[in-house]
Amino acid sequence: MLTDYLLLFASAFIAATILPFYSEAFLYVLLQDARSPLLPVLVATAGNVLGACVNWWLGVGILRFRHKRWFYFNDEQIAKAQRWFQRYGVWTLLLSWLPVVGDPLTLIAGVLRVRFPVFVLLVLLGKSSRYIFIAWLAQ
């Protein structure tokens, strides 16, 4: 049982980083045997939010490497992402749960130095909503 929750936490953590991974299916399966959805949802949310915090932290320091040959993004891509984020504001972090765009949003939030408490609150709301919805589907 503990192993299942550790795997759920790890899958949710990895899924929140810029690595391609998904935790929803594992949560769904775990919910089938759970007495209550509360613990699985809390574990998945905690892992996912902590993974997003890693992205924020990486974003804080990532631009110092932008002129290295191995750096993945060019200046135009960075500027475009920053303009988009600044246009729509920190509220876009409520969409951090979305596949493909959510993880870069958390990275850009770090680049733009969004205040960490605001970041955590908005990401927590967005990501927990997704897992609550999955728990509702599993019932």
Mean pLDDT taken over the chain: 89
Question: Which residue range is the domain that position 55 belongs to?
Answer: 2-138
Residue tagged 């391609």 (tokens): 20
pLDDT digit string, tens, across residues 81-119: 778 888 888 999 999 998 878 888 898 899 889 999 999
Q: How many domains does the chain have?
A: 1
Say how far apart CA 90 and CA 131 lie, in whole Å: 21
Say how far apart CA 136 and CA 139 lie, in whole Å: 5
